[in-house]
Amino acid sequence: MKADVLSIEGKSTKKIDLPTQFSEEVRVDLISRAVLVVQSNNRQPYGAKPTAGMRASAEVSRRRRDYRGSYGIGISRVPRKVMSRSGTRMNWVGAFAPGTVKGRKAHPPKAVRIWSLKINKKERRKAIRSAISATMLKEYVQKRNHSVPAHYPLIIENKVELLQKTKDVLSLFEKIGLQHELSRASVKTIRAGVGKSRGRKYKKRVGPLVVVSQPCALFNAARNIPGVDIVEVKNLNAELLAPGCHPGRLTVWTESSIEKMGKENLFMGK
């Protein structure tokens, strides 16, 4: 399988052979599993305090002749907290039970719960290869509603890794036909629900993924562009390549990242 290499001016300069990772069959089921594993391992455990709602003494006897008892008064057996008394007559309020004010939750979230999932090495690697293959197929990229340029897939010469200014990166994206994709990815909407008050006010769209061969100036130059992610080729995972379990993210590869993938046989180990 061959593909064109574009210059930073957006013009085709040569053709290169793609390594075998790009010829993998697209397995949506494996990709979904691998994405869910990544998401589960990034999930922050949370839960209520184990004794929340159970720190009040709510012992009221139901026996006939016990002091502090509710026998014969004609009330339900809800646990109650005694607030005051007059002789043997108690003034109480419901406590402890889930249906009472400030009572415990019936089944609260527990911080000891283990969210982490696992996946076999071979399945994870195959899922990544499958997701890599889907990034080169125009029909999968269009299904994700990306604005795909006519000359797709996109492989750029190595000079792109030396760009140091955001305006230069934006200029490059325009030259290779991604101006509509950037404007699409820049749209954000206000989230519905209580998540607005929990640091998740806006819902943002996923834009292009740029894959480089090594840490470079491009990481800082492109980090403020909405929707754009930069990743080193050896750090690729299923979630970056197929956000939301949907394969076919619009991806810009550098020539050296593809060479490194083939030379080091990334994601092909036994």
Cα–Cα distance, 150 to 134 (Å, whole number): 17
**What pLDDT, on a 0 to 100 scale, did the predictor assign at position 270?**
57
**What pLDDT, on a 0 to 100 scale, did the predictor assign at position 155?**
95
**What pLDDT, on a 0 to 100 scale, did the predictor assign at position 231?**
96
Instruction: Decide if 131 contacts 124 (C-beta within 8 A).
Output: no
Is residue 131 packed enough to be buried (19+ CB in 10 Å), middle (13-18) or exposed (0-12)? buried
Placement of tokens 């391992």 in the chain:
41
**What pLDDT, on a 0 to 100 scale, did the predictor assign at position 138?**
94
Query: Rounded to two decimals, what is the model's pTM?
Result: 0.84
**What pLDDT, on a 0 to 100 scale, did the predictor assign at position 102?**
87
Per CATH, domain 2-33+120-263 is 3.40.1370.10: yes
Amino acid identity of 212?
A: V
Residues of the chain with pLDDT under 70: 270
Instruction: Decide if 21 contacts 133 (C-beta within 8 A).
Output: yes
The three-class DSSP label of residue 224 is coil
Mean pLDDT, the chain, whole residue set: 93
Give me the residue spans of the domains in the chain. Answer: 2-33+120-263, 44-114
- As a whole number of Å, the CA-based R_g of the chain is 29
User: What tens digit of pLDDT does each residue of 181-196 get?
Assistant: 999 999 999 999 999 9
